[in-house]
Structure 1
């Protein structure tokens, strides 16, 4: 025992002696370094520094201090602060973080998860799934530049783009705020796919048609359909819906192209769905039939594809005569809603696509693939009867030619809607294909109705009979429609209707969000168009404060316009003061209303001076007072920044603004795999 204690003491003593020797050796080295070296010249002059060193007059140079570059510091920190493997999340966990931001429309924060957290902080290796999510998010909001930047970064990291990647990129081109820029990117992307030998799938082709169509290149959209047919890809109803979107981009003759696409869809025996009918309503609202020559060509196409009803009638008679012997006789399939008229007025027609490459020869092989239908006749075969159409419906298979010959007289939206059947016949045509209308159908049908309360009330009754629940957007459009025809009393009647409907739904459905009807900021925006007096505007603004809705410059601009139309100086001054009190920034339209109002008043003053118009003394006095107030009010704002148009992508390059209505939210961090909740169970014997 004593021997072991002695050895331990000796080890401690030796360990204590080692640092002392090191310190002594270090001090000796420092003294040797601090001692300056002497240099002797030919004249025996002694210099303490090297005579070959240039620039000693500037002072002593400290060679011990080294200049470090910022890049070297970052590189050293990058190599030193390497995260542990346990700190890096999986691809699914990063995707869940991105999706949480995208659910709240925060594009900038979602992109920072990839560019900052994954690549810089965690140094994780991203996969193409992460890039596809972000490219799709940028495509939905039209952030085309960032979508292609992520695509290039994806290729730089040797990640293979998938079919979803190209679909999202074409959608980014379609939603671009500048059609010319979107068309340029779409052409480049399609050329890139051809050069690399990438075979597009059906979804890629539909996205291509949508991109080229929305960007205004309608011939290329039809050319893509020809390419699909040449590759023996079945043209389904979804492809025709994308073609209808392409037709909407042509305001001059888009309705004509849409009717041609519709006839091709019927000829290829594709059943239209709810999206097809909604797109057709959109096309009726925004597009025209074209010039008189194009309308004449459309009528000629209809006449070239006439099938006489004698052929159909003879087929029915032959079929009824073979009642006992040939029960399973095959005959030519009749259209679902085809009617047989003894006067030979209803004709089955089909169209040719004008000015495109979608030719009859290319479509013939798809029609021949349809198998004939066997019809068993247990009794005398009769065709189903449909109510006789009182107006021409170019969407149906049967058409009365004598009613189509007056297409040149179509000018208004109501006339165009009548060509496709009007309210009643359009809904009947949907019932033929077993398509149930939704609230979007009735919302798009609303601007196409006659400017009367009777037509609007009839539409409301139709909604109730169709078991469709109207949402707040439908009522907002109804208020706007009445405001545009200056029916301000009727607009506030719709507001009362919303309140009564809200109470009824609460009693019937309770707190189910599916059936909730609540006034939003758009409701007050369209109601502002009906505030033609200062008192109505004050009541509406007070009600918005009670509903805890913050007023914006667009609502105040609508009120300002009503004041300028009625030349109510007190009303206009009140709105200008409200803008200042709420610290709102006036936009270009707000300033434009004020400038046009001043020009109108100035013209009246000049005409009064010339004697052609007479203004009252109160008007002259009020205008001078308003002009002084306007000049003082205008100096309180930065007009250059006010009139400057904001870049549409600026909102995606900055953090999301924090407002009262959009409060902050917490991001749920994913759980680490190494942190497991392990519970301790005390061992108990089973014996």
Structure 2
């Protein structure tokens, strides 16, 4: 084959490629494809004159007549330049000069383009839009926009963690959950990390949203995300803060079983959260099982551990005060220094809990039985300390925990009081010594209590009657050489001390821990500074209308503690319960002098003392004059007082005032009113006439009419405000 035949074959291949390009891309410029093809397959064996001549003929044959010289050098076609040249009537260059320029620039452009490493993305629509008219392009964009630009930057999982953390601090848990589930997971399709789940579980745990916390935990396990100790801490805290303690206890038990089956080692903070869950959910025996796990894990018990145990003791309202004192002493024996929280919990046990069986409490806290327990504990600890290795200290602490549990639950304290010894705060002037030592018949199963009672009775018979005197709480008149012990000490001086009494009231229990002055001195010895919560609790447990109560404000100024509105509300509530309305109102000027203003809780405490109709209606008028509308709690307190007095006129006036102020009754108010409209169980109005109870008929008629036009307030679900509402379009 000659070189001329080879030339025709090459041109024919170019022609086929040109036709193929024009058929595949009808809206593309074939010149651009031809120039690219020429750059990719240059014909070097053919003289440039013949190549130029044959290429020009080929293009003119297919309708491309007026081509600029830039096509031959590999450049794109400039349509605007071509149109301007045609308009001005410019002539093309001669063939010889055109060939010379092509010889000089041929192949140089390919080297420039081959050195590029970055190219811009393009599409057919964008290429067409460059060669279309601007008016048509604007019309097409308006009718059907084809190009949608994607966002330039995607948020990271840590950015969502910071945003959710900020929202939770602002009490916007719903927004944080919606941001996590909608924006992060569904829209941006990011894979959540452990910290994303933990911060949301912690927010749900603080508000008691137990169900959502464990839903997030289950989703965490489905995605194979490994939880951390902070995750388990948040889950146990959700169990503790749940409004339903039974379900919280069930979830805590299941989570604990899961951790033990997986053999996961926890830190001390997580163990404290687990201990808190069992303590708040009223399972004190499970708390001691957790306490053993803490010791076996190698952690040391600190003041937070014992404070959490005291929370569990407070849940037992019958024996909680004795339990708290025993745990307090054990904490001091182990060398753990108490803090302000532990002192406040002790005052809370003084206010809410009893001492249990006085005979058992006397022997465990004062008598010889407590010394026997201490001797047994010392012997067992000495045996374990004689062993070698690091396990000796753990075993010793485990024995301490076991002995403490035996002290709390070993003796049955649910039996009735077995003896009547000299009681604190009781008057024994008209009682004989035989009445004091009299003991009822005990059950045969309670042999330990029989022994304790008989021992205490015989010891009392040896004491002359002249030396027995009752000790009243906050009593300022005591005989000489009389010593009042403080049960907060490890070693108690039992001089002139016989036994503990029933200790039925909070002031009596405060007397056992040193009264007001002794309690504050004990805090000073331990280097603990009392706070506002301490003085508020002291205001609730001190004797009403006593010298200690009047000196509380001075003591607060001495310690540099500023009273708040809750402190004054405590005093107002105490005086209102005693029926002293004028004394409660006298605290309002003192409150204003301290720079405080009464709240709705203050008015609710004042309503406790409004047992007459005039006082209650006047209080409602004063609340309205202060610019505040009475809430349902104030009306509930007044309805309770009127129902106890069987004053149906008072009840009718309260309901009329509620209707005028449009205060919706809740479940508590409706339950009180349903009780008020009922007759006594054994009362028959047809058999006997009672003018006092006949007024109930008039109130019943008004009450049923009142229910027809008064809308009731529905009690919201505790988790309703934290649930995410589904964004579903409503069909019209």
Global fold match (TM > 0.5): yes
Larger radius of gyration: 2
User: Which of residues 203, 214, 230 is equivalent to 1:137?
Assistant: 203
- Count of residue pairs brought into register by the alignment: 497
Q: Could you tell me how far 1:610 is from its partner in structure 2? A: 2.2
Do structure 1's residue 599 and structure 2's residue 667 form an aligned pair? no
- The SS at the match of 2:563 is coil
- Residue 241 of structure 1 is matched in structure 2 by 307
Whole-angstrom CA distance in 1 between matches of 2:527 and 2:488: 15
TM-score, structure 2 normalization: 0.61
- Residue 529 of structure 1 is matched in structure 2 by 608
Do structure 1's residue 585 and structure 2's residue 636 form an aligned pair? no
User: Which of residues 619, 623, 630 is equivalent to 2:703?
Assistant: 630
Query: 2:157·2:192 contact (CA, 8 Å) conserved in 1?
Result: yes
Do structure 1's residue 122 and structure 2's residue 181 form an aligned pair? no
Q: Could you tell me how far 1:238 is from its partner in structure 2? A: 1.4
Whole-angstrom CA distance in 1 between matches of 2:176 and 2:572: 37
Change (3 A) 1:293 1:551: same
- Residue 534 of structure 2 is matched in structure 1 by 441
Change (3 A) 1:605 1:206: closer
Whole-angstrom CA distance in 2 between matches of 1:351 and 1:201: 22
Change (3 A) 1:84 1:300: farther
Do structure 1's residue 555 and structure 2's residue 555 form an aligned pair? no
Do structure 1's residue 610 and structure 2's residue 685 form an aligned pair? no
- Residue 573 of structure 1 is matched in structure 2 by 652
Whole-angstrom CA distance in 1 between matches of 2:512 and 2:686: 50
- Residue 383 of structure 1 is matched in structure 2 by none
Do structure 1's residue 497 and structure 2's residue 590 form an aligned pair? yes
Q: Could you tell me how far 1:569 is from its partner in structure 2? A: 4.0
CA deviation digits over 1:595-645, x for unaligned, max 9? Answer: 333336x6898579626x554xxx85x544333211111223567x86xx6
Alignment of 1:78-89 (within 5 A): 84=151, 86=153, 88-89=154-155
Q: Could you tell me how far 1:101 is from its partner in structure 2? A: 3.7
Whole-angstrom CA distance in 1 between matches of 2:505 and 2:81: 111
Change (3 A) 1:293 1:539: closer
- Residue 206 of structure 1 is matched in structure 2 by 272
- The SS at the match of 1:89 is coil
Query: 2:358·2:502 contact (CA, 8 Å) conserved in 1?
Result: no
Q: Any stretches of 5+ residues in structure 1 without a counterpart?
A: 13-18, 20-79, 308-349, 360-386, 503-516, 656-687
- The SS at the match of 1:98 is helix
- Residue 54 of structure 1 is matched in structure 2 by none
Query: 1:226·1:358 contact (CA, 8 Å) conserved in 2?
Result: no
Alignment of 1:159-238 (within 5 A): 159-238=225-304
- The SS at the match of 2:643 is helix
Whole-angstrom CA distance in 1 between matches of 2:616 and 2:502: 42
CA deviation digits over 1:408-448, x for unaligned, max 9? Answer: 43222222221122211111111110111111011112221
Q: Could you tell me how far 1:144 is from its partner in structure 2? A: 1.3
TM-score, structure 1 normalization: 0.65
Change (3 A) 1:433 1:91: same
Whole-angstrom CA distance in 2 between matches of 1:389 and 1:223: 43
- Residue 465 of structure 2 is matched in structure 1 by none
Change (3 A) 1:9 1:419: closer
Do structure 1's residue 395 and structure 2's residue 461 form an aligned pair? no
Q: CA RMSD of the aligned region, Å?
A: 3.7
- Residue 353 of structure 1 is matched in structure 2 by 404
Greater RCO between the two (CA within 8 Å, min separation 6)? 1
CA deviation digits over 1:32-91, x for unaligned, max 9? Answer: xxxxxxxxxxxxxxxxxxxxxxxxxxxxxxxxxxxxxxxxxxxxxxxx9996461x3344
Query: 1:295·1:408 contact (CA, 8 Å) conserved in 2?
Result: no
Q: Any stretches of 5+ residues in structure 2 without a counterpart?
A: 1-64, 72-76, 84-127, 129-146, 376-400, 411-479, 726-732
Q: Could you tell me how far 1:145 is from its partner in structure 2? A: 1.3
- Residue 357 of structure 2 is matched in structure 1 by 291
Whole-angstrom CA distance in 1 between matches of 2:270 and 2:612: 54
User: Which of residues 652, 664, 672 is equivalent to 2:722?
Assistant: 652
- The SS at the match of 2:238 is helix
Query: 1:209·1:224 contact (CA, 8 Å) conserved in 2?
Result: yes
Query: 2:204·2:238 contact (CA, 8 Å) conserved in 1?
Result: yes
Change (3 A) 1:90 1:300: farther
Change (3 A) 1:199 1:405: farther
Whole-angstrom CA distance in 2 between matches of 1:466 and 1:522: 27
Q: Could you tell me how far 1:96 is from its partner in structure 2? A: 4.2
Change (3 A) 1:270 1:351: farther
Do structure 1's residue 412 and structure 2's residue 412 form an aligned pair? no
